[in-house]
Amino acid sequence: MPTVPLNEIKVEEIAELLRTKYAIFTGGHDREFRSLVIFPDYQTENLAEESFVLLLQYLSTMNSTHSSVHAFVMLIDRRTGDWKSVKTIVSRLNTTFPASIDHIYVIKPQGFVQRFFVEKTVSWIREESRFPITFVDKLEELSPFIDSVHLPTDMGGQLCFNIENWLRDRAVVQSILERCFHGLSAGSVPLQFEQFRDRVTLLCERAQQLLDQFGQPSPPVVGVQLQVYLANPSYSPSLMVTWKKQRHKFLDAIDRCEADGLKLRQTLRDGPYYPGESSPVTANDQTGTSNWTHADENFDLPVDRVFHVINLEHTLVKLTETRSVFNQAWRQFTKRAGIIKLMADIEQRFVELEPLAGMWENLLESASDYFQSSRSIGRQQLTNLSTRQPTSASLLTSVSRSSSFDGSCFGLIADPSESTTEDMYLEDLRAVVNRLTEADQFGAGLLPDLLALSKTTQWVVDYIRMEESNVSLDSETSGIEALSRFTFVLDNDSDPDELDSPSSVGTVSSMSSLKLPTIHLPRNAERWASMFRRLLMLAQTKLPNSADQLNRLLQLYSEMNKARSWIRRGVELITPVITNDSFNSWSLEHCHQKLDQLRAYYALREEGNLRGVTDPKFFHQRFSDIITMDLRNALMELLRQMEDVEVQYQTGIALLRQHISRTSFPRHQSSLSSLPSVSTEVSVRDYPVRSLLLITTAMCALMNL
């Protein structure tokens, strides 16, 4: 015969809340004889949380006609409602329903707007729910689960349900049970204790079944791509979700059983005395002192009731130990699952970053083609500016150091089209430099992740190998959270104080016999650490060094290109001056303009525009480590050309100044052609001292490389 708790909610107190028909209990059940609670499809606003909890507490005390089945199923009908109310009901059922829920059925909202984002909403509700959920579109789809005879006619079923008649019947049943309960409460205490002990025994057996299932290897998981989960299917995410839901359900059952046990103990202590019970231990009224040395309120009970209290305390301790053993086993299981999740994160990063290593190495190989001519690459690519075309070669050798300056030696280098190949080469080099700089910046941003991945990978591999060898890790590598930024929270609902609390003796002995599935390394685990170390070396040293060297090489080639441009333009300016046989046709103003133009262009070299190739100290500091033999020869030839052009400028400027002086202050009528031949012959002795020092210093610097 079902018993009624002392603190039962009266139907009179909740009548108005029941009349809202927010949730009803008709006495029906599903095809597995589980009691059915229905949330009808009425346009009723969501109840306040206190009213919702009170209503569900009242409905949870009722069972269907098959009272041996104590589980419930929920039916949420929202055909004319919205998804927001479904989310509200499911989230509240997760935390407030005091009885066991085996399943939830939801009839989807059928409104036009509610049909949008159905899949995303259904997926979110399933993930947030602690209980299995089935979504249907029509009432007919419920027939495999719930017979229509147990559904009200308002929903399309065959059950006639009237809330007023139901309230009146419940009031009558409540009155009868109250009268019977007071007469049978004393005799029902042993029955309640036996029922409670049976529940604890079933929960202990269920805990042992779950522990055995934890230790059994699982079949391969279908649909996973990471090799970590293929090698360790027992710790796959889908299986962890299943274990998590079963754990919540089991711990909820233990909490409800413990709460019922505490209520039963309070009932035994506070209940009145009935005929047939032994008299309680009392104090001596005459002396006012106790007959017992250690008096306690628990002794102020009948003898047989004290016996029940002691047995009940032992049963509660057994239930607490069962929960502690299960929590410790779950903690060990989730630790292993956390390592598997960490390995999955590492493998995912390995899959993502593995192509990057090849891209960076190919980029470095392309960069090495520009400044490693003395190695296996070949020399032609490094001397493009001097050997790509015959016109380029003529540019470097066209200016001879002869004493006859008739201008014929400049014929081959006056064509601007010769710089096309050099410009194309510089554009290619600049593109490689830009790509290398971008790779260097990206590697600098990725460097903290690579450091964490490298350390964490090494820790995981060492941990699993030591575990397979039954060797404990040393203290330096025991803190994986300190090494990795890829931590994994397995169970946010777990109580850390409960999991970290020291185990009792019984718990330790039970845990010693627990065998969990062994963690295995995937086949590609050996490549993880080497690939991360390779990326780390590329990001730390190779990419920055190559970017710096290639940037300096680009600067050097740009300086050389500027020097060639200076030579070309200088030849164009000086050729008309040197090739003229006479300046008689030039006006004095024109001679002054030409002289100013030559001086201004010659000053470009002295102002530092060509400092990269003319300043020995700057050249040695900046470019000494990237100069090859071919490039050194090209630079020496370029410096000779610049000195030849400088000599031509000095000669042309001297001729113009002499012509201007004779034109401004004429002393003789002789022409310019009667000048001694020595005036147009310039030898090495006529070079300025500064030019000799400059070329001598530059040559010495190049020869010392």
Instruction: Kindly state the tokens that stand for 219.
Output: 């079949």
Mean pLDDT (whole number) for 518-541: 86
CATH number at residue 253: 1.20.58
pLDDT, residue 387, reads 40
pLDDT band at 648 (very low <50, low <70, confident <90, very high): confident
pLDDT band at 321 (very low <50, low <70, confident <90, very high): very high
Of 113, 538, 148, nearest in space to 367 by CA: 538
pLDDT, residue 415, reads 46
Instruction: Kindly state the tokens that stand for 288.
Output: 């006012």
- Secondary structure element (H or E) that encloses residue 360, with its range: helix 303-368
pLDDT band at 296 (very low <50, low <70, confident <90, very high): very low
Backbone angles phi, psi at 356, to 5 degrees: -65, -35
pLDDT, residue 254, reads 92
Report the amino acid identity of residue 386: S
Instruction: Answer yes or no: is 599 within a domain.
Output: yes
pLDDT band at 59 (very low <50, low <70, confident <90, very high): confident
Q: How many domains does the chain have?
A: 3
pLDDT, residue 381, reads 37
Give the separation between CA 342 and CA 480, rounded to whole angstroms.
Answer: 10
Report the amino acid identity of residue 468: E
Instruction: With a cut of 50, say whether residue 248 has pLDDT above it.
Output: yes
Instruction: Kindly state the tokens that stand for 403.
Output: 């004493």
Radius of gyration of the chain measured on its C-alpha atoms:
48
Kindly state whether residues 584 and 686 are assigned to the same domain: yes
User: pLDDT tens for residues 473-486?
Assistant: 443 444 344 344 44
Of 529, 294, 561, nearest in space to 419 by CA: 561
Residue of higher predicted confidence among 586 and 126? 126
Instruction: With a cut of 70, say whether residue 183 has pLDDT above it.
Output: no
Instruction: Answer yes or no: is 301 within a domain.
Output: yes
Report the amino acid identity of residue 115: R
pLDDT, residue 377, reads 31
Residue of higher predicted confidence among 629 and 417? 629
Mean pLDDT (whole number) for 464-479: 56
Mean pLDDT (whole number) for 144-172: 88
pLDDT, residue 371, reads 62
Of 448, 244, 458, nearest in space to 343 by CA: 458
Beta-carbon contacts of 128 under 8 Å, excluding residues fewer than 6 positions away, are 87, 90, 91, 94
pLDDT, residue 481, reads 42
Kindly state whether residues 138 and 194 are assigned to the same domain: no
Give the separation between CA 610 and CA 491, rounded to whole angstroms.
Answer: 68
Instruction: Answer yes or no: is 139 within a domain.
Output: yes
User: pLDDT tens for residues 105-116?
Assistant: 999 888 777 777
Kindly state whether residues 640 and 588 are assigned to the same domain: yes
The answer to whether residues 316 and 309 touch, using CB atoms and an 8 Å cutoff, is no
Beta-carbon contacts of 525 under 8 Å, excluding residues fewer than 6 positions away, are 343, 347, 461
pLDDT, residue 632, reads 77
Mean pLDDT (whole number) for 430-450: 87
Kindly state whether residues 31 and 142 are assigned to the same domain: yes
Kindly state whether residues 141 and 194 are assigned to the same domain: no
Instruction: With a cut of 70, say whether residue 348 has pLDDT above it.
Output: yes
Highest average pLDDT, of 65-79, 178-192, 196-210, 299-313, comes from 196-210
Residue of higher predicted confidence among 111 and 689? 111
Residue of higher predicted confidence among 409 and 335? 335
Backbone angles phi, psi at 223, to 5 degrees: 95, 5
In 3-state terms the chain splits into helix, strand, coil percentages (rounded to 5) of 65, 5, 30
pLDDT, residue 529, reads 86
Instruction: With a cut of 70, say whether residue 60 has pLDDT above it.
Output: yes
CATH number at residue 96: 3.40.525.10
Instruction: Answer yes or no: is 421 within a domain.
Output: no
Half-sphere exposure of 690 (CA within 13 A, CB side): 6
Kindly state whether residues 154 and 224 are assigned to the same domain: no
pLDDT, residue 272, reads 55
In degrees, rounded to 5, the angle at the alpha carbon of residue 389 between the alpha carbons of residues 387 and 391 is 105
The interaxial angle of helices 237-270 and 163-215, nearest 10 deg, is 120
Beta-carbon contacts of 156 under 8 Å, excluding residues fewer than 6 positions away, are 139, 148
SS3 assignment, position 447: helix
Instruction: With a cut of 80, say whether residue 28 has pLDDT above it.
Output: yes
User: pLDDT tens for residues 361-398?
Assistant: 888 888 877 765 433 333 443 344 344 333 333 333 33
Kindly state whether residues 144 and 229 are assigned to the same domain: no
SS3 assignment, position 22: coil
Instruction: Answer yes or no: is 618 within a domain.
Output: yes
CB pairs under 8 A, 24+ apart, for 192-195?
Answer: 192/3, 192/264, 192/267, 193/264, 193/308, 193/311, 193/312
User: pLDDT tens for residues 68-96?
Assistant: 456 889 999 988 888 888 888 898 888 88
Q: Which residues pair with 37 in a beta bridge?
A: 25, 74
The interaxial angle of helices 83-96 and 49-59, nearest 10 deg, is 60
Residue with tokens 């269920």: 206
Q: Which of 321, 338, 355 is the last residue of a domain?
A: 338
Beta-carbon contacts of 211 under 8 Å, excluding residues fewer than 6 positions away, are 325, 326, 329, 514
Instruction: With a cut of 50, say whether residue 142 has pLDDT above it.
Output: yes
Instruction: With a cut of 50, say whether residue 281 has pLDDT above it.
Output: no
Highest average pLDDT, of 104-118, 191-205, 318-332, 461-475, comes from 318-332
In terms of residue numbers, what domain contains 267? 189-283+294-338
In the sheet where 35-39 sits, what is the strand order?
24-29, 35-39, 72-77, 101-107, 133-136
pLDDT band at 177 (very low <50, low <70, confident <90, very high): low
Mean pLDDT estimate for the chain: 72
- SS3 per residue for 71-125: CEEEEEECCCCCHHHHHHHHHHHHHHCCCCEEEEEEECCCCCHHHCCHHHHHHHH
Kindly state whether residues 195 and 155 are assigned to the same domain: no
pLDDT band at 268 (very low <50, low <70, confident <90, very high): confident
Instruction: Answer yes or no: is 177 within a domain.
Output: no
In degrees, rounded to 5, the angle at the alpha carbon of residue 380 between the alpha carbons of residues 375 and 382 is 70
Mean pLDDT (whole number) for 592-598: 80
- Percentage of the chain with pLDDT > 90? 6
Instruction: Answer yes or no: is 29 within a domain.
Output: yes
Instruction: Answer yes or no: is 170 within a domain.
Output: no
Residue of higher predicted confidence among 282 and 96? 96
